[in-house]
Amino acid sequence: MRIRRTAAALLTAAAIVACTDVSTDPQVPLSLQFDTLPALAVVVGDTLRGGALLPARLPVRAFSGSGTAIADTQIRIVGVDTVSRRAFTRISGLRLVGMSEAPIVRIVAQAGSLQSQTQTFAVVPRPTGVRLGSTDIDSIVYDRPDTSTRFRNLNVAVIHRVVDSAEVLLNGLPVRFRVTGFTASLLDSVRLVNIGSGRDATGSVMTGGAATIRVKTYAKPAARGRGTVTVEASTRAFGTEIPGSPLVITVRLVPFTLPP
């Protein structure tokens, strides 16, 4: 009896091992990675664009048990609901095009029996303009010991407006920023950084009605006088810049003065 029980236990253990064997077939996906989308909106009829304003590949990859990347052709992008399925189409591998306006498009990536978590974006109308958003002070006290006034946040809005219709803010679209000039006699350098992470940045995504980037200045020793920093903000649709883009933003440089 003991021998039979031992044999049965061995058979059960073998079955478990067989069921948990990891396939080493380089064409069988065993893991799926779907990162944050490069933008949270796409213009209807246009491709999804990233921070460089170029058509962007969806950031999804599938891997085999040996860690080898699976071909894009084995990855599907699927709309979760009826509205989502009608709102986009996939082209050129892992790129997508907005097909009809939709405030929320829900998609998942599938590879074999694997499915990712849901990603969301919007399909918005074609932008008709870009303008400066709300701003606090248009100057930087470049030489003040208190560093809180040695930077400024720039807010830019991408909009859609037809004739006398109300302005629509196109949240989710990317905006690219770049410094085009500054007063070299006052500053050693200028940086554009993400307001959340503080890391160097060249773009931002429209969120809450504005794409925001922070301008930080680094003054030369004993610098005095007044000057400017010039920043350009731009966005594109269908490969061309929209009206008003690039938007030229001038930030004044003023020296610190003691209150009377």
> pLDDT tens across 4-14, in order?
444 444 334 33
What pLDDT is attached to residue 205?
95
- CATH, domain range 2-124: 2.60.40.1080
Whether the pLDDT of residue 22 is over 60: the answer is no
What pLDDT is attached to residue 25?
63
Pick the residue with more confidence: 260 or 76?
A: 76
The CATH architecture one would assign to domain 129-254 is Sandwich (2.60)
Work out the pLDDT band at 164, boundaries 50, 70, 90. confident
Q: What is the location of CATH 2.60.40.1080 in the chain? A: 2-124
Q: How many residues does the chain have?
A: 260
Q: What is the location of CATH 2.60.40.10 in the chain? A: 129-254
What pLDDT is attached to residue 54?
94
Q: Which residue type, as a one-letter code, is found at position 96?
A: L
56 near 50, Cβ under 8 Å?
yes
Q: pLDDT over 70 for what percent of the chain?
A: 86
> pLDDT tens across 51-86, in order?
899 999 999 998 888 778 888 888 899 999 999 999
Work out the pLDDT band at 202, boundaries 50, 70, 90. very high
What pLDDT is attached to residue 28?
76
From 250, 236, 96, select the one nearest 175 (Cα to Cα). 236
Lowest mean pLDDT among 9-18, 59-68, 208-217, 227-236: 9-18
Lowest mean pLDDT among 64-73, 172-181, 191-200, 250-259: 64-73
pTM: 0.82
Peptide bond into 259 cis (omega under 30): no
Lowest mean pLDDT among 125-134, 158-167, 225-234, 246-255: 158-167
Q: Which residues pair with 187 in a beta bridge?
A: 219
The CA-based dihedral angle spanning residues 73, 76, 82, 84, taken in that order and rounded to the nearest 10 degrees: -90
Find the mean pLDDT for residues 35-40.
94
Lowest mean pLDDT among 101-110, 139-148, 171-180, 232-241: 139-148
